[in-house]
Amino acid sequence: MNRRHFLGLAGAATATALTGQANAAGGHSFNGYPNSYGVLFDASRCIGCRQCELGCNQINSENVTKPWTTLPKKDPKSFEDTKGMNDKARTDATMYTLVNKYMPAAAGGKTPVYKKAQCFHCKEPACASACFVKAFTKTPEGAVVYDGSVCVGCRYCMVACPWNVPAYEYDKLIPYVQKCHMCHPHIKAGKAKLPACVSSCPMEALVWGKREDLIKEAWARIGQVPGRYIPHVYGEREMGGTNWLYISSVPFTQIGLPENVGNTPAPELTSGALGLVPLVACLWPVLLGGIWQITKWKDKRAEDEKQQAVAEALAAERAKK
């Protein structure tokens, strides 16, 4: 191997090792922020009045912080229509939250049960793990917030989110991702003390507090009247735990909360595979460089042997004459 070739190889190895190194950071462990806040939603208290939707729309269309946290202002009357509620609707680019109406079999199929849908604010969010420009941040206060100034619009966050929460402004030429930010910017700016949905709920179906306290409160409610609630706090462990928690008197799958999401935090789904990247980057150049040297040497040796054989044959011919 001559000097220049060695430098070339070294350059290739360094460049690839660098790309690998950058990803190895995905494998760290994180137990969530200890004093973070969250919200507990009690499906048995919700009456489907849509006041939380109204409160959300009002604060996020008026107390505008950044262009990407601006919701179009809706007519307050439009939230009075509770007849059109169904179990299919989902959050979109014009609303961070909405209430779905279910007719669960567990409640006889005749009594409606309501569930409020919004971002779950995972302790280790799939969207943040998936985002290749770090547009999502898990704040120590508990909210998962989005920074549109770096967002490229690849929508991998939407692929990654197990609950299909992030929505996209498909109809705009400069589109952003839209999702609930737990009113984090408003609380930080002193414009609100609680998330708007919580403060506008007339039934106290939503409780704001420290996540740890909320889990205690949830289990206390479950224990108070045995048989009233399903003995499970949805969000305590799902996807490594979320800051939005649910309790319900009917099975969660019957109010649109899938129970197959698993307890593995999202980053762990990819960190193992990503960890192999530096290995490939280190192993391949050495291996391939070695193979190249061997094949080159093999060819050269075959060539030498051929030339030697020819020379010997020629010499033998000459000797005969």
154 binds another protein, rule: CB under 8 A: yes
Distance from the first to the final alpha carbon of the chain: 43
With CB under 8 A as the contact rule, the residue among 32, 112, 153, 251 that binds another protein is 153
- Measured in whole angstroms, the distance separating CA 196 from the mean position of its chain's CA atoms is 24
Closest CA to 61 of 92, 95, 99: 95
With CB under 8 A as the contact rule, the residue among 67, 103, 105, 134 that binds another protein is 134
Beta strands in the chain (DSSP E): 37-42, 98-102, 113-117, 136-138, 144-146, 167-168, 177-178, 206-210, 244-247
- Measured in whole angstroms, the distance separating CA 121 from the mean position of its chain's CA atoms is 9
What CA–CA distance (Å, rounded) separates 302 from 68?
67
Helix, strand, or coil (residue 53): helix
Q: How far is the CB of 158 from another protein (least distance, A)?
A: 4
175 binds another protein, rule: CB under 8 A: yes
Q: By C-beta, is 166 or 249 nearer to another protein?
A: 166
What CA–CA distance (Å, rounded) separates 298 from 15?
29
Site for another protein in 279-308 (CB under 8 A): 280-281, 284-285, 288-289, 291-292, 295-296, 298-299
With CB under 8 A as the contact rule, the residue among 47, 106, 112, 156 that binds another protein is 156
92 binds another protein, rule: CB under 8 A: yes
Closest CA to 95 of 180, 24, 213: 180
Q: Which window, 83-91, 97-105, 114-122, 216-224, contacts another protein (CB under 8 A)?
A: 83-91
**What number of chain residues touch another protein (CB under 8 A)?**
77
With CB under 8 A as the contact rule, the residue among 66, 90, 216, 306 that binds another protein is 90
Site for another protein in 242-261 (CB under 8 A): 258, 260-261
30 binds another protein, rule: CB under 8 A: no
With CB under 8 A as the contact rule, the residue among 75, 81, 171, 317 that binds another protein is 171
Q: How far is the CB of 172 from another protein (least distance, A)?
A: 6
Element (H, E) at 317: helix 266-320
What CA–CA distance (Å, rounded) separates 131 from 133?
6
Phi-psi label, residue 34: left if phi above 0, alpha if psi -120 to 50, beta otherwise = alpha
173 binds another protein, rule: CB under 8 A: yes
168 binds another protein, rule: CB under 8 A: yes
Q: By C-beta, is 64 or 269 nearer to another protein?
A: 269
Site for another protein in 95-124 (CB under 8 A): none
155 binds another protein, rule: CB under 8 A: yes
216 binds another protein, rule: CB under 8 A: no
Closest CA to 238 of 128, 136, 124: 124
Q: Which residues contact 279 (CB under 8 A, 6 or more apart)?
A: 20
Q: By C-beta, is 90 or 228 nearer to another protein?
A: 90
219 binds another protein, rule: CB under 8 A: no
89 binds another protein, rule: CB under 8 A: no
